[in-house]
């Protein structure tokens, strides 16, 4: 089993951090028109941008006099594949990092799905996944399609108030290694519930 690491943070009121918290729809300073998927939990991934968002969270904590906690999260992705992902590889490696770790066939296939769904919603066509999209709710549709339904998580570029960052949506919540979630400071138990389950 291979794992990837992701991060999240949450704010709290008062002097002491909560003993328990549910992460569902986190605020990563994303642009207001960015619609995130609802059938999974969105976290921060990799080194592209999350550092500036964590810095922004610390500044917000200081300026608004609220507490902030950070959490490291590990996600089971099956068997890591050092090569670019292929459509045939999702049975082994259940993680897709868009666009950098996907081959041309995947990029073209997703783009065809994406623009068909945008057409249905009377929205302007996009170059996703090669370029960021504000319509990330369409991942909820993609994850129901074969072979994408075999994936545990999909990472993508997202536009935030501090530039482009890498987000990852975990669609298979059983892939989150709950016992290994590390909170800083370590006084809060974190659980995860998808936004559609909370609605």
List the Cα angle 74/75/76 in 5-degree steps.
125
Per-residue pLDDT, 47:
76
Residue 113 has pLDDT above 90, yes or no: yes
What digits encode the pLDDT tens for the residues 152-168?
999 999 999 999 999 99
C-alpha to C-alpha distance for 118 and 112, rounded to whole angstroms: 10
Helices then strands, each counted (H, E), the chain? 4, 9
Domain that holds residue 135: 2-198
Confidence of residue 199 (pLDDT cuts 50, 70, 90): low
Confidence of residue 198 (pLDDT cuts 50, 70, 90): confident
Using an 8 Å Cβ cutoff, are 66 and 60 in contact?
Answer: yes
Using an 8 Å Cβ cutoff, are 130 and 114 in contact?
Answer: no
Mean pLDDT of all residues in 124-144: 97
pTM for this structure? 0.95
Residue 13 has pLDDT above 80, yes or no: yes
- Number of domains present in the structure of the chain: 1
Phi-psi region of 51 (alpha: psi -120 to 50; beta: other; left: phi over 0): alpha
Using an 8 Å Cβ cutoff, are 67 and 184 in contact?
Answer: no
How far are the Cα atoms of 87, 117, 132 from residue 125, in angstroms, in the given order?
A: 23, 9, 12
């Amino acid at each position: 089993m291979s794992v990837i690491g992701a991060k999240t943070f949450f704010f709290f009121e008062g002097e002491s951090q909560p003993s328990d918290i549910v992460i569902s729809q986190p605020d990563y300073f994303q642009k207001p028109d960015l619609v995130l998927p609802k059938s999974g939990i969105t976290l921060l991934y990799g080194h592209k941008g999350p550092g500036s968002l964590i810095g922004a969270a610390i500044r917000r904590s200081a300026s608004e006099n609220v507490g902030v906690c950070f959490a490291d999260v590990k996600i089971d992705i099956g068997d890591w594949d050092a090569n670019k992902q292929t459509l045939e590889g999702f049975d082994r490696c259940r993680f897709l990092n868009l666009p950098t770790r996907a081959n041309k066939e995947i990029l073209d296939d997703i783009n065809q799905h994406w623009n068909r769904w945008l057409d249905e919603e009377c929205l302007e066509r996009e170059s996703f996944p090669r370029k960021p999209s504000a319509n990330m709710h369409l991942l909820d549709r993609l994850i129901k399609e074969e072979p994408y339904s075999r994936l545990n998580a999909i990472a993508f570029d997202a536009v935030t108030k501090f530039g482009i960052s890498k987000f990852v949506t975990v669609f298979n919540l059983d892939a989150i290694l709950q016992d290994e979630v590390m909170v800083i400071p370590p006084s809060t138990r974190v659980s995860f519930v998808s936004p559609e389950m909370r609605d």
